[in-house]
DNA sequence: GTACATGCAAACGCTTTGCTGGGCG
DNA sequence: CGCCCAGCAAAGCGTTTGCATGTAC
């Protein structure tokens, strides 16, 4: 399953471009609305199918938040902070923590680790100021 | 929102008992089928509503896996291993990792950490043997 | 011409909601 | 009597699928 196997259709290119420029973790609807600016006739099913396709190919990453799929194109191992108030989700990169988690995971019996990620739950700046 | 505010109806008690005895991370359907053994007339909506209620009260924990809710009554901070082949999910307790993650999180700017959890993705023993 | 993508609509599965009746203070 | 909870069915919402058409090699 090499990268060269991938057919880069217009729809897929626009989806990838949109994800690259989007600041955050868009839902399927976000992607759909965004891509529709350029490809006015694209259907939501195509967005769904291609988001799944691209994440299976390892070009993007799917993150599930409370039962809803979100996507990101940042493929560097990293973590996420989630605001318990407003639901905002942000990247947080800590190489140390990635390595520490992988080291610990390597010691788990009967389990071959492939990846690890950590989610931080708390209150974001905006919501702190609101209170 | 004290624990004493909670009305322990028969349905809630049975759901809590079921979760305590269940070895794993049951879905809503698992809970429904389990509890129905004793309360034959319970409805799935009651199971949904009470699982949400109990997790809001902090008596159980909800974990979302691929868009589906699962529940656990183990409230001690811990992590999860997930098998990429069969989807099996297991608890993994590492106090060191919990503390390390919290320590790192405390340093994130503009974010007041409350909790952190780590998911390990890989291949479980059963699936390794299958190959 | 074959294989695979698209667009559209319908179907699907998990979850929530509205309503009515019941239980307990 | 008032309040909350249970049961039931229907609605809601995110997602997947079937099918006919289109497009690239």
The model's pLDDT over B30-50, given as tens digits with 9 standing for 90+, comes to 999 999 999 999 999 999 999
Give how far the C-alpha of residue B12 lies from the chain's centroid of Cα atoms, to the nearest Å: 16
Residues of chain B with CATH 3.30.1490.190: 79-130
Check residue A4 and give its pLDDT.
57
Check residue A49 and give its pLDDT.
97
Check residue B86 and give its pLDDT.
87
Nearest CA in chain A to B88: A111
Beta-carbon contacts of residue B29 (< 8 Å; ≥ 6 apart): none
Local confidence band at A131 (pLDDT 50, 70, 90 cut-offs): low
A1 CB inside 7 Å of strand C: no
Nucleotide nearest to A46 (CA to C1'): C6
Check residue A98 and give its pLDDT.
95
Residue closest to sugar C1' of C5 by CA: A9
Beta-carbon contacts of residue B91 (< 8 Å; ≥ 6 apart): B72, B74, B78, B79, B80
Two structure tokens written together for A22: 């989007």
Check residue A29 and give its pLDDT.
97
C1' (D4) to CA (B9) span, angstroms: 11
B48 CB inside 7 Å of strand C: yes
In CATH, what number does A3-72 get? Answer: 1.10.10.10
Record: contact A116-B118, CB cut-off 8 A: yes
Local confidence band at A2 (pLDDT 50, 70, 90 cut-offs): very low
In CATH, what number does A79-130 get? Answer: 3.30.1490.190
**This prediction's pTM:** 0.90
Residues of chain B with CATH 1.10.10.10: 3-72
Check residue B85 and give its pLDDT.
85
Instruction: Give the Cα separation of B105 and A121 in Å (integer).
Output: 9
Instruction: Give the Cα separation of A88 and A51 in Å (integer).
Output: 21
Check residue A5 and give its pLDDT.
77
């Amino acid at each position: 399953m090499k990268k060269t196997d991938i057919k880069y259709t217009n729809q897929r290119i626009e989806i990838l471009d949109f994800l690259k420029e989007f600041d955050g973790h868009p839902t399927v609807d976000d992607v759909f609305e965004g891509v529709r600016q350029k490809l006015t006739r694209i259907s939501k099913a195509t967005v769904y199918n291609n988001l799944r396709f691209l994440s299976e190919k390892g070009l993007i990453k799917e993150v599930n938040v409370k039962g809803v799929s979100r996507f990101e194109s940042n493929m560097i191992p990293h973590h996420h902070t989630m605001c318990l108030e407003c639901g905002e989700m942000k990247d947080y990169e800590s190489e140390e923590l990635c390595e520490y988690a992988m080291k610990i995971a390597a010691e788990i019996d009967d389990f071959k680790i492939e990846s690890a990620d950590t989610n931080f739950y708390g209150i974001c700046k905006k919501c702190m100021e609101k209170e």
